[in-house]
Structure 1
Amino acid sequence: MKSDGFTTSSSALPLGFTWGAVAAGIKVSGKPDLAAAVATKGAKAAAMFTRNQVVAAPVTVGQRHLLGTGGRVGALLVNAGNANCATGQAGIEACIQTCTAAAESFGCIFDEVVPSSTGIIGVPFPTEKVLNALPTLTAALGSTQDHAEAFAQAILTTDTKMKVARAVIDVEGVEVRIFGAAKGAGMIHPQLVAPAGPPHATMLVYLFTDLSAEPAEMNALLAPAVERSFNSISIDGDTSTNDTVLLLASGASGVKLDERVQEAFANALALVCGSLAHQIVEDGEGVGHVVTLHISGAANEADAKLVAKTIATSPLCKTAWSSADPNWGRLLAAAGRSGVAIEAERITIAIGAQPVFEHGMRAAGFDEAATHEVMLRREYTISMHLGMGEAECRYITCDLTEEYVRINADYST
């Protein structure tokens, strides 16, 4: 499939990286839980981190490393099964020890290693398990699709499936490739911000490209891609302590980020981020229905997104979606308490193609049975036009089910 100079059908991976994963014994299941991506000749990085004021040790250490090296990265080290959050100074020291050992194994400088973790908060970090597994992990590294997918599988926690996306740009006969891997199924309501000075699981997203670009250039493209993808999804309204989006550029294609490729690369990056964001919600804990909120007619995009977030995190709306109950009053009430200036008489709401609310009252053509049928689908769209302006947004969310409650009631036990 070609669009705007890029294709998503290729399984080609970016040059300049190797990936691998092993079972270090962190997960009780015994499944692979320690993964690495190594930039064989180094890479430049752009990153966005959680806005949560409680941050995990790997976020603290990783941001220090990115600032200290000016965005130069030699390796990414990811573990699943332990968030290394609320672990005190011991958690920071564990990150430093594992980064130092990883640098020796992978052949880079210790602060060129970016650590990342996902799992349970408050459990002491199993440093020795990581250190003991590094030789095996180093031997497992490779540049094939199997190696990249092993990386993508090992970072999962409550996820039920691997989440990857690819795109390729053709620049005068030279391919520039993007590969993305993500994890996330619960504690998903990302509020990612770009670092300003020292930057601030769980959603983890790793993006790899062989484009040649500087950190500032990549950050300028990453921020809008994230805003319309990962910052526009919610599963449960909870923002993780570990949320990270990291973009690494190896430069191995020999193609520089310039006017020839900027638009096509930005479009491809947005497509990859959008695909991964959708996959995260689709695989959400206990999700039965994926709901896209299309809020239009807003005074500005911020207002549109605030209305969407309020609806997306409303327990009453989410439980109605779980049983396909066409209770449009909950949508209207959530919009009304969002803090955005609205007038009910100007609002129209449709669920799928079914009108449910118009001009201050139930739509004349409201068909409860037909609307219920729409809401029985796995995926559908709820459209709300506010009648206040021209701005809009699309926001992906889901229902709240008994299965979600069961998973999270027993998560740590």
Structure 2
Amino acid sequence: MKEFRFAGVHTGIKKEGLKDMGIILCDRPANAAALFTKNRVKAAPVLLGEKVIQKGLCQAVLVNSGNANCFTGDQGLEDAEKSASLVSESFAVPRERVMVSSTGVIGAPLPMDKFRTGIPLLKQSLSPQGLEDFSRAILTTDTFPKIIENQVEIDGKRVHMIGIAKGSGMIRPDMATMLAYVCTNADIDSMDLKKRLILANEKSFSRITVDGDTSTNDTLLCLASGQSGVVIDSGNGKIFQEMLDKTCLELAKMVVRDGEGATKLARIVVKGAGTAEDAFRAAEAIAHSNLVKTAIYGQDPNWGRITAAAGRSGARVDPDLMDLYFEDVALVVKGKWQGREAEAKASEIMKKEEITMTLDLNLGQESDGFLFCDFSEGYVKINADYRT
């Protein structure tokens, strides 16, 4: 997809020469859709982005890391506007087609001098091969860049999709706690794209958690250039949806796997619930539980913590009907612990880097699930030292 070019540079917002500013540029106006944080404390770039995306077009996306431009009042909004204007002037893109994102420390004003010197550097570095640099420029406490590329054949033509994300802490499914950008050469109306993005988000970013905190800067943005000439409609929409779902889910997995201090990727599946809401509530409560998360870190198959979390979730449960599995090992059947041998087998499973637990409520047909990670000393250290 040569119509999309990327760049990432170091401007001095972050120390030690780390890249801290990136850009995505499309050589034409792209149909666009976005989702943003549900946190009522919204960062200035989110407030600005909510206005820009209403027209359904975007051509340039500027992202900085190291400073969230949040809780910065009128000055923060002015700075977000100014940074978008600088992109518009430098790249000859209409101001109303420029999106901006920020991530980092809350409460500090944007160092606008870094934007004045950094944006020209981005222009010099811009390239279809600049994806890696861009992905590194948007990281904060992440330990690795998150990139996924997919392609499918639709109507005899290749449709491509690239996804880039950052996220490691402040991860909770209140939209999607991270920054994520998806670029595709499909031709799809912005309204249809928004509907499909919502569906993909519900299956991915809205089913993950690291620490239960909701960020102020969450943005999930999708750009569709139309370069492939493949018009997405009711006939081929399922194929496109599957690719978008896959892209978002793979990015979501990377975010959880890179959770601050995480050593394991865990999945909780709740099935047999009486309602969809009950399945969601129970799975969410288990995934958010610090006691469950620390037990996973300690490789302790503490089934009591899992069933207790489901019990306080607000979902309808009957402890005498519950079955709990660690992979294929039944640890609880109809509310009864299956003994030390079963627990020893579950303990072995917990030594793996990825584990799946299934709680069957045996009350109905509905199911749901969450991806989450364990909770280690590393999380405390990273966040205790974050501003120092």
The interval holding the TM-score normalised by the smaller chain is over 0.9
1:50 aligns with 2:33: no
Residue identity matched to 1:24: T
Moved over 3 A (4+): none
| Structure 2 counterpart of 1:349 | 324
Pairwise CA RMSD of aligned residues? 1.3
| Structure 1 counterpart of 2:56 | 71
Residue identity matched to 1:237: G
C-alpha distance in 2, partners of 1:322/1:387?
28
Alignment match of 1:191 (pick from 152, 174, 184): 174
| CA apart distance, 1:366 | 5.3
| CA apart distance, 1:272 | 0.6
Alignment match of 1:173 (pick from 131, 139, 156): 156
| Structure 2 counterpart of 1:301 | 276
User: Is the Cα–Cα contact under 8 Å of residues 50 and 190 in structure 1 kept in the other structure?
Assistant: no
Pairs aligned (count): 388
| Structure 2 counterpart of 1:377 | 352
Residue identity matched to 2:143: T
Residue identity matched to 1:22: V
**1:214-263 residue CA offsets vs partner (Å, 9 max, x unmatched):** 11110111111100100000000001111110010011111111134211
**1:318-353 residue CA offsets vs partner (Å, 9 max, x unmatched):** 111110111100001000000011111121001122
TM-score normalised according to structure 2 size: 0.97
C-alpha distance in 2, partners of 1:29/1:207?
29
Alignment match of 2:133 (pick from 150, 174, 177): 150
User: Is the Cα–Cα contact under 8 Å of residues 58 and 95 in structure 1 kept in the other structure?
Assistant: yes
Which consecutive residues of structure 1, in runs of 5 or more, have no partner in the other structure? Answer: 1-13, 194-201
C-alpha distance in 1, partners of 2:355/2:340?
19
1:127 aligns with 2:112: yes
1:163 aligns with 2:146: yes
C-alpha distance in 2, partners of 1:165/1:34?
20
C-alpha distance in 2, partners of 1:80/1:400?
25
TM-score normalised according to structure 1 size: 0.92
Question: What does 1:128-277 correspond to in 2, within 5 Å?
Answer: 128-144=113-129, 147-192=130-175, 203-277=178-252
C-alpha distance in 2, partners of 1:312/1:337?
13
Question: What does 1:1-16 correspond to in 2, within 5 Å?
Answer: 14-16=1-3
Which consecutive residues of structure 2, in runs of 5 or more, have no partner in the other structure? Answer: none
Q: Secondary structure of the equivalent of 1:192?
A: coil
| CA apart distance, 1:190 | 2.8
| CA apart distance, 1:15 | 4.3
C-alpha distance in 2, partners of 1:247/1:366?
49
C-alpha distance in 2, partners of 1:396/1:294?
9
Alignment match of 1:316 (pick from 263, 267, 291): 291
**1:252-281 residue CA offsets vs partner (Å, 9 max, x unmatched):** 111111134211110011011110000111
Residue identity matched to 1:23: H
User: Is the Cα–Cα contact under 8 Å of residues 190 and 240 in structure 1 kept in the other structure?
Assistant: no
- Name the CA shift for 1:338/1:99 in 2 (closer, same or farther; >3 Å): same
Question: What does 1:273-284 correspond to in 2, within 5 Å?
Answer: 273-284=248-259
Alignment match of 1:40 (pick from 5, 21, 27): 27
C-alpha distance in 1, partners of 2:277/2:61?
34
Residue identity matched to 1:17: F
